[in-house]
Amino acid sequence: MSWIDWILVGVYLLGLVVLGVKLGKTNKTEKDYFLGGRNFKWWAIGLSIIATQVSAVTFIGAPGWAYTDGLSAIIMTLNIPLVLFFISGIFHPFFYNIQVTSVYEYLEKRFGKVIRALMAFAFLFKSIMVMGTILYAPALVLARVTGISIYLAIGIMAAIGIFYTILGGIKAVIWTDVTQMVVLWFGLVLTIFTVVQSMPGDFTTSIASIRDAGRMTALNFTQGLSVANSVWAGLIGGAVLHLGYFGIDQAQVQRVLTAKSMRHVKHSLWFGGFVVVIQMFFFMMMGSFLYVYFQGIPFENPNDVFIRFALTEFPVGLLGIIIAAIFASAMSSLDSLLNSMTTVVIKDVYKNHMNPGASDEQVLKISKKLTLVFGIFMAVFAVIVSTSNLSILEAISVYGSYLLGSMLGVFILGMLTVKANEKGTAAGFVLGIVAVAFVAQNTEVYWMWNNLIGAGTTIIAGYVISICTGSETKDITLYTIQGQKALFDKRKFSEMEDGVFIAPGRFEKRSYGLLIYLAVILLFFYLIG
């Protein structure tokens, strides 16, 4: 890298620190640190949601995955418009009405302290695995560019992420996400332009080469649970994955709880539903173009495909911008998870069991210490990830699939049934994880089905065991979807506020645009294949 590239990267990283310091001064209370005073508008939350979904893992891992499997890898993303349609109409209005800081607060109100603690620890464990994978991406770039060891690179990137997350809380998370999306999109456009310009032959010839190699086929209708990247795995198994990710994951729901109103919540989700698929398409096409550029030569580690191209083809200045974009996309995901993990420990463990009367000052101090601790765990797992040869985009999804489906099953039992109790739900959750682990280790079932297996096992086993052990005796009306809808009818509350439905289970006419959009993109991918 030239000194100009280093200056660009340095200015960007310094800007992150300055932003964190500035926003940190505005955090006076626990609500400010964790929810930003509930004062964010839809476009900021929407960009933050997209930024977390498209991390450095995507910038490096998506081209690597597409280089290996072609455009079929995008099937995991195509379900997102459908998922966000249901989440905007059911899940997030439900949580918004309860007004919690942690989604696991809801579980205690619905079931009890055991489920709340169990799910909180599951979230922390899953998040450490995910963060370690995300952290590995920019660290790999830093190591390749500078020649330093991957372990030192992991330490440097972890320190940067920890520092400004500690300073700024959720405000730093969302506003840096907004800033970083601008950098990421700028970097993506410049990268695609450079890739296309560097390919042998003209654009039409390159597209023909991609098609001839079978890498323009996104929709694989082959049936079978062992088929990788099939339409069925993506639209069913992948939908369950994203229903858990966007619907009940603390890192996502916490953003929604920062919104000024439900209108801003829904607009942010609709915005994300339209943008994420387009964004992923360009990342995947980048990998397909690189397949033509490198003439299909095999890479021992698919994550090196994009990095090698960047180091050999990017001109002075552009390399610095692209590396800044990769760092941006990584930080946008890491800060979100670090802040959300801290929120969960504070609300679900510290204030719930250890110090219920903690002052705002005490909470802020312990929150910053926890962020540091989780950052260290994140770095340790990143070292473990560095030994894997999977595309990091696929790796992060595989790791999460062991827990996410079962976690979703717990919330579905709570939200949709009145007979599910704490004993049955806890047992169902454990059995769901066991079922996923057994299938993953002993069969050829493609990992994208893991989430459906976990959710299905948890729901069925949890419901049956609950019936055998007796239903809940406390009033859970507010904590089920049907109960909330009944309260709206009984108390004659308006189901609409600020032009959108706040009652769960009601859908605005404009939200159906997501379903139309899904049909259009499926048709598009069918035609180009």
Q: Is residue 398 part of a domain?
A: no
**Cα–chain-centroid distance for residue 438?**
25
- pLDDT of 313 > 60? The answer is yes
**Model confidence band, residue 110 (pLDDT cutoffs 50, 70, 90):** very high
Report the pLDDT value the prediction gives residue 32, as an integer from 0 to 100: 45
User: Which carries the bigger pLDDT value, residue 408 or residue 100?
Assistant: 408
Q: Is residue 51 part of a domain?
A: yes
**Buried-exposed string 291-328: b where 16+ CB fall within 10 A, e elsewhere:** bbbeeeeeeeebbbbbbebbeeebeeebbbbbbbbbbb
Q: Is residue 122 part of a domain?
A: yes
Closest CA to 343 of 257, 244, 243: 257
Measured between alpha carbons, how far is 190 from 319 in angstroms, rounded to an integer?
Answer: 10
Mean pLDDT of the chain: 82
- pLDDT of 33 > 50? The answer is no
Contact present, 178 and 53 (Cβ < 8 Å): no
Least confident of 29-38, 89-98, 236-245, 267-276: 29-38
Q: Is residue 184 part of a domain?
A: yes
Measured between alpha carbons, how far is 184 from 188 in angstroms, rounded to an integer?
Answer: 6
Report the pLDDT value the prediction gives residue 40, as an integer from 0 to 100: 53
Q: Is residue 496 part of a domain?
A: no
Report the pLDDT value the prediction gives residue 473, as an integer from 0 to 100: 65
- pLDDT of 187 > 90? The answer is no
Most confident of 60-74, 209-223, 230-244, 373-387: 230-244
Report the pLDDT value the prediction gives residue 42, as an integer from 0 to 100: 52
> What mean pLDDT do residues 76-84 have?
92
Q: What is the CATH number of the domain that holds 200?
A: 1.20.1730.10
What angle is formed at CA 347 by the lines to CA 47 and CA 451, rounded to 5 degrees? 60
Q: Is residue 35 part of a domain?
A: no
Contacts for 442 with CB less than 8 Å, ≥ 6 apart: none
Start-to-end CA span in the chain (Å): 39
Contacts for 211 with CB less than 8 Å, ≥ 6 apart: none
Least confident of 111-120, 152-161, 312-321, 516-525: 312-321
Report the pLDDT value the prediction gives residue 19, as an integer from 0 to 100: 64
**Model confidence band, residue 499 (pLDDT cutoffs 50, 70, 90):** confident
Write the pLDDT tens digit of every residue in 128-155. 888 888 888 888 888 888 888 989 999 9
Both structure tokens of 477: 């009306």
Confidence (pTM): 0.81
Contact present, 88 and 234 (Cβ < 8 Å): no
Both structure tokens of 130: 């995910």
Both structure tokens of 158: 């972890």
Number of domains in the chain: 1
> What mean pLDDT do residues 99-128 have?
86
* Residue 508 CB coordination number (10 Å): 16
> What mean pLDDT do residues 17-39 have?
52
Measured between alpha carbons, how far is 167 from 484 in angstroms, rounded to an integer?
Answer: 38
Q: Is residue 498 part of a domain?
A: no
- pLDDT of 428 > 50? The answer is yes
Half-sphere exposure of 91 (CA within 13 A, CB side): 26
Q: Is residue 475 part of a domain?
A: no
Q: What is the DSSP secondary-structure string of 64-104?
A: HHHHHHGGGGGGGTTTHHHHHHHIIIIIHHHHHHHT-SSHH
Q: What is the four-CA torsion angle of 211, 213, 215, 218, rounded to 10 degrees?
A: 70
**Buried-exposed string 404-417: b where 16+ CB fall within 10 A, e elsewhere:** bbbbbbbbbbbbeb
Measured between alpha carbons, how far is 377 from 384 in angstroms, rounded to an integer?
Answer: 11
Give the 3-state secondary structure of residue 526.
helix
**Cα–chain-centroid distance for residue 452?**
18
- In the chain, % of residues over pLDDT 90: 22
Both structure tokens of 524: 């598009």
Segments forming the whole domain that contains residue 194? 41-387+509-528
**Model confidence band, residue 453 (pLDDT cutoffs 50, 70, 90):** very high
User: Which carries the bigger pLDDT value, residue 32 or residue 254?
Assistant: 254
- What are φ and ψ of residue 497, in 5° steps? -150, 125
**Cα–chain-centroid distance for residue 420?**
28
Report the pLDDT value the prediction gives residue 34, as an integer from 0 to 100: 43
- pLDDT of 31 > 50? The answer is no
